[in-house]
Amino acid sequence: MSMYQTFAEVYDRFMNEQTEAFAPYVIRLLSDFAAEAPARVLDIGCGTGKTAIALAKNGYRVVGGDISHAMLEKAVQNARAENVSVCFQQMDMTCLDLEWPVVAVVATCDPVNYLSPLQVPLFFTSAYEQLPHNGLLLFDVSTPYHYQEEIGCDSYCQLEEDAAYILQTEADDSVCTMELTLFTQRRGGLYARTTERHTLYLHAMETLERTLYNVGFDLVHVYGFGTKDKPQADCSRWQFVAKKN
């Protein structure tokens, strides 16, 4: 099954605690680097729209893009529930073609980890081409340390009254494979079982920095996520900020 299809139905219930930290941090970084509201921003890999909605609530004009139609449907529902205007569109982050100019492209909660080493330069180039002079690219990446040491090869599960998932992971030097088995309750008390397989790539910090510079970005900063400090060796997530020169 394609990634984030059935899981889109319950993504926010299971992942809300993990994703709620992204929007405040991104908003702070945008302000720190002079991309303040009401600037237009692209949130690519927007998922169920939590970051996009938070940006809109803070005065930004937001385009939310994702390759998963199911996640976008959930994002539209979430925006309506919050009475927030966000333009959600299905798009491939490796070949962006926006109708409106944006001052920043943001990608939160691992979209770049879903890109292979061959796809990463395509995304950086595509984002670069959509940005004006001094435009910003902000993205986070789960680190090799996170996948190899914190996740590794293991099984995880989470249960709720009408849904549950089991996550089995395997990690090596280049990829982390996650097999997600989801059980959702249907009418009559029966449960539907679906399985999704996710492949996430381990990227070296130096390679990402070099690729950004090769594409044409300047002023590349790398922080330990949630801070403006240099990442430590046991950092779980890096935050990149790149400016188009």
Q: Could you read off the pLDDT of 43-70 as tens digits, one per residue?
A: 999 999 999 999 999 999 999 999 999 9
pLDDT for 1: 43
Task: Judge if 150 and 66 occupy the same domain.
Answer: no
Give percent of the chain above pLDDT 70: 93
- Name which residue leads in pLDDT, 2 or 182: 182
**CATH number for the domain harbouring residue 176:** 2.20.25.110
Task: Judge if 20 and 123 occupy the same domain.
Answer: yes
Give percent of the chain above pLDDT 90: 74
**CATH number for the domain harbouring residue 46:** 3.40.50.150
* Strand residue runs (E) in 72-174: 87-90, 104-107, 136-142, 154-159, 163-171
Task: Judge if 61 and 161 occupy the same domain.
Answer: no
- In which domain, by residue range, is 160 found? 146-201
Where are the alpha helices (H) located in the chain, listed in sequence order? 11-19, 22-32, 50-57, 69-81, 120-130, 144-145, 205-215
Task: Judge if 224 and 162 occupy the same domain.
Answer: no
Task: Judge if 173 and 128 occupy the same domain.
Answer: no
Q: Tell me the pLDDT of the chain averaged across its residues.
A: 92
* Rounded Cα–Cα distance for residues 244 and 223 (Å): 18
Average pLDDT of span 179-201: 87
Task: Judge if 68 and 172 occupy the same domain.
Answer: no
Q: Which amino acid is at 240?
A: F
Task: Judge if 180 and 219 occupy the same domain.
Answer: no
Q: Domain count of the chain?
A: 2
Task: Judge if 101 and 132 occupy the same domain.
Answer: yes
Task: Judge if 78 and 186 occupy the same domain.
Answer: no
User: Nearest 5°: phi and psi at 180?
Assistant: -105, 115
| pLDDT over 90 at 156, yes or no | no
Task: Judge if 129 and 215 occupy the same domain.
Answer: yes
Average pLDDT of span 108-126: 98
What tokens appear for 226 in the block?
A: 């949630």
- Name which residue leads in pLDDT, 219 or 43: 43
Task: Judge if 81 and 66 occupy the same domain.
Answer: yes
| pLDDT over 70 at 2, yes or no | no
Task: Judge if 10 and 66 occupy the same domain.
Answer: yes
Q: pLDDT by residue (tens digit) across 203-218?
A: 999 999 999 999 999 9
